[in-house]
Amino acid sequence: MALDSEKKQVFKVVGTRPARPDGIDKVTGRAMYGADATAPGMLVGRILRSPHAHAIIRSIDTSAAEALKGVKAVVTSADFGAPEDESIRDVQDNCMARGKALYHGHAVAAVAANSAVVASQALKLIKVDYQILPHVTDVDEAMRPGAPVVQADRAFENVAAGFSENVTSQCEFGHGDLEAGFAKADKVIERSFTTAATHQGYIEPHACLASMTPDGKGDLWCCTQGQFHVRTVCAEIMGMDASQLRVTASEIGGGFGGKTTVFIEPVALALSRKSGRPVKIVMTRDEVFKATGPTVSSSMDVKIGMTKDGRITAAQARLRYQAGAFPSETVTYGAQSAFAAYDLKAVETIGWNVLTNRPKEAAYRAPGAPMAIYAVESVVDELCQELSLDPLDVRLKNAADKGTKSSYGPTFEAIGLRATLEAAKAHPHYTAPLGVNQGRGLSCGFWFNFGGNTCVSLNINTDGTVGITEGNPDIGGSRASISQMAAEELGIPYEKVRTIIADTNSLGYNDVTDGSRVTFSVGLATIEAARNAIKVMCGRVAKIWGIDEDAVIWEDGCAKPSGPNAGSFDPMSIEEIAAISANTGGPIAGHFEVNADGAGVSFGVHLADVEVDPETGATKVVRYTVFQDAGKAVHPDYVEGQMQGGAVQGIGWALNEEYIYGKNGLLQNPGFLDYRIPVASDLPDIETVILEIPNPGHPYGVRGVGETPIVPPLAALSNAVSRAIGRRMFELPMSPPKLLKAMSQKR
């Protein structure tokens, strides 16, 4: 058989917009999310949480709760072991405080009872003796020597001297001679910035249903971005073999990175093991805000030198990220991505992770990148203003391109930055007139994208239709995209393919749905699995025809002789081949397992127009356009959906969203009323322009698109607001009191 190993350029199914397979379930209320499952004899689990920001837990008396009628189990950290792996122990300690409550809302005990009412009553009967400790929630304060220490002995040795123990890690990236670079600049600007912690804000609270049996088997149903990761973590925490814990991912009501880890699953498993009954835990919104991962808050310094004609000569960033009460690597991603959009001769970024008495940070869409790039893109914009240069021209002049040695080390392959910048420049938005009190801002955005461990099973059913089993929860329409790629490769209609997401016992290990990896990685594995199935089918047909396997080709869903020399045979369709598979060697399937490389980095450019009310400081986004390289848009609607959704999350981050802590270290706004995610009436249409610069690492040229769109809005909005009010802003969110104050200082 002969397969075309060249990049596929003409597509029949890829690039169309078919209906998603989960659509009808989701519009009729049938789709089953985390909280929608039930089990016979199910108990209600509830979690008691620390009312203090930082406190030693001297003792926990659960006797009264255990004695309450209807209570079937109570657990505390004493019910958990001590996993050897430090990162798993951190997850466990975050799920259930051990010895010390590290933040307001940290879990300290949990109950399972026969009703929600009894469970709530039982929580009130648990007596925790706390010794309150001094706390710290601000990143800069936490770094100072003498600050309250959140966790001792967690700092790596490479951390520079002069910081408190809360500074756990330090990272450095860059190349070139900074001093010489700055000396060449006509203008050097150095600024400091802060951003607030923001929450992923998925509408579905975390929920799970755990069922452990006395023979050591477990079943777990939960809303997660990665059932295999949940299994790894929970099995280790529970001391179970992976084979004995089956994890099924429910439909997921939004994740954005926040459901890449566990918060309640080990607790539900422990309660189920202790009670001998299935236990369901559903978080309240208040718990979601207090105890699940927001992103980091940051404090940053950026210094950039530029020549009069707009060439950047040197660039430097210092990033201080607080990631809550546990060590985190997010600052590394920030330090790597800060200057990724620029081709620089001299660049340096240094980042520090800092512990505070806040919840353990979790990934949030391009984790670490939005804040660093916000700071960089703000300084670039200020330089453009100071030197009277067009901000798009300056970015084009300095744009990273194929062959550029990136600021974080690797040399870029084909990338779409220049094309997106040129598309933005050519778009009518860029030259549209602005009204009174309006300003226009732009920003580049970047994300690495990821491939990772992927495993796909593709079965040719006996009627010639196709079932695909993959292992990544669908958070943006991936089931449709996967089916499209299989249909494309097999030459059959989209409707003949159904893709499902397997539980952990039905498929090999798959990495979490993160890093914008699924359409790229699972797509790649699906295409390869289809090719394997085609190879099997061509082999079967070759036997029937009595010719060489190489003399059979696959075209339009049929096996055909490769040419006149191969012999004269009528093509055999996939249906015909499948129908007689029992007589030709048995069921036909294709599999593919890979740790995928070559994800292909992603760039985007956003244009934002805002209007700021000079009397109140209120900002209205009046026009917004997103330009992004998708490599190849498999389902353009869903690519646009990622671009629009990410942009709006970034708009919320820029304008109103923030974790607000009081002087007492308690979270002030754990609800959707005061944690203000954008509502429909806050927003204009979000225009989208998809660029397609093929990724050489994927058979169809696909790049991940999910994360990059949240990166540019922060600086695009800040630059737009700064230009509208004639005063530069250095702090997010740009809430109205801050803007009004800034405007009055100008006068």
Subset of residues 278 to 337 that bind another protein, contact rule: CB under 8 A: 282, 284-286
Q: Does 647 participate in binding another protein (rule CB under 8 A)? A: yes
For 3, 354, 534, the CA distances from 552, given in Å and listed in that order, are 10, 61, 10
Residues 706-735 that bind another protein (CB under 8 A): 735
**Which residue, chain included where needed, has tokens 């659509």?**
23
Buried-exposed string 308-345: b where 16+ CB fall within 10 A, e elsewhere = eebbbbbbbbbbbbbbbbbbbbbbbbbbbbbbbbbbbb
Distance CA 380, CA 387 (A): 10
Between CA 628 and CA 641 the distance in angstroms is 12
C-alpha to C-alpha distance for 377 and 395, rounded to whole angstroms: 10
* Closer CB to another protein, 45 or 305, in the complex: 45
Report the amino acid identity of residue 696: P
Count of residues touching another protein (by CB under 8 A): 75
Q: Measured from the CB of residue 297, what is the shortest distance to another protein in angstroms?
A: 16
CA distance 30 to 426: 45
- Smallest distance from another protein to CB 204, Å: 4
Scanning 311-319, 381-389, 429-437, 736-744 for contacts with another protein by CB under 8 A, the matching segment is 736-744
Q: Which of 609, 640, 692, 707 binds another protein (CB under 8 A)?
A: 640
* Closer Cβ to another protein, 501 or 541, answer by number: 501
Give the nearer residue to another protein in terms of CB position, either 408 or 624.
624
What is the smallest separation between the CB atom of 193 and another protein, expressed in angstroms?
21
- Decide: helix, strand or coil at residue 734: coil
Least distance CB 214 / another protein (angstroms):
28
If binding is defined by CB under 8 A, does position 31 make contact with another protein?
yes
Q: Which residue, 598 or 684, is less far from another protein as judged by CB?
A: 684
Instruction: Tell the burial category of 377 from Cβ atoms under 10 Å away from its Cβ (0-12, 13-18, 19+).
Output: buried
Instruction: Scan residues 185-204 and list those touching another protein (CB under 8 A).
Output: 200-204
> Does 362 contact another protein by CB under 8 A?
no
Interacting residue with another protein among 633, 686, 721, 742 (CB under 8 A): 686
Q: Strand pairing of 279-282 and 207-212?
A: antiparallel
Q: Is 671 in the site for another protein (CB under 8 A)?
A: yes
Q: Is 346 an interacting residue with respect to another protein (CB under 8 A)?
A: no
Footprint (CB under 8 A) of another protein, residues 551-590: none
**Side-chain half-sphere CA neighbours of 401 within 13 A:** 8
**Residue 745 CA to its chain's centroid (Å):** 38
| Calpha distance 601→517 (Å, rounded) | 11
Q: How far apart are CA 81 and CA 334, in angstroms?
A: 34
Closer of 185 and 252 to another protein (Cβ): 252
Q: What is the closest distance, in whole angstroms, from the C-beta atom of residue 667 to another protein in the complex? A: 10
Among 181, 257, 351, 678, binds another protein (CB under 8 A): 678
Contact with another protein (CB under 8 A) among 191, 672, 727, 731: 672
Q: Which residues pair with 540 in a beta bridge?
A: none
For position 649 contacting another protein by CB under 8 A, the verdict is yes
Least distance in Å: CB of 296 to another protein?
19
Q: Which residue type, as a one-letter code, is found at position 202?
A: Y
Cβ atoms within 10 A of the Cβ of 273, count? 22
Site for another protein in 469-498 (CB under 8 A): 475-477
What is the Cα–Cα distance from 189 to 113, expressed in whole angstroms?
60
Name, in order, each residue with C-beta under 8 angstroms of 279's C-beta and a sequence gap of 6 or more: 42, 43, 44, 45, 73, 112, 209, 210, 211, 268, 271, 272
- Indicate which single residue of 656, 718, 719, 722 sits in contact with another protein (rule: CB under 8 A): 656
Nearest approach, Cβ of residue 723 and another protein (Å): 21
- Best CA proximity match to 116, nearest among 179, 71, 158, 161: 71
Euclidean distance between CA atoms 365 and 517, whole angstroms: 12
Q: Which is nearer to another protein, 460 or 485 (CB)?
A: 485
* Amino acid code (one letter) for 147: A
Residues in 216-275 that interact with another protein by CB under 8 A: 251-256
State which of residues 2, 3, 4, 17 lies at the interface with another protein (CB under 8 A). 17
Q: How far is the CB of 349 from another protein (least distance, A)?
A: 30
Q: How far is the CB of 427 from another protein (least distance, A)?
A: 17
The residue (of 56 and 117) whose beta carbon lies closer to another protein is 117
Q: Binding residue for another protein (CB under 8 A) from 215, 673, 745, 746?
A: 673
Q: Whole-number minimum distance, CB 645 to another protein, in Å?
A: 5
Give, as ranges, the residues between 369 and 398 that touch another protein (CB under 8 A): none
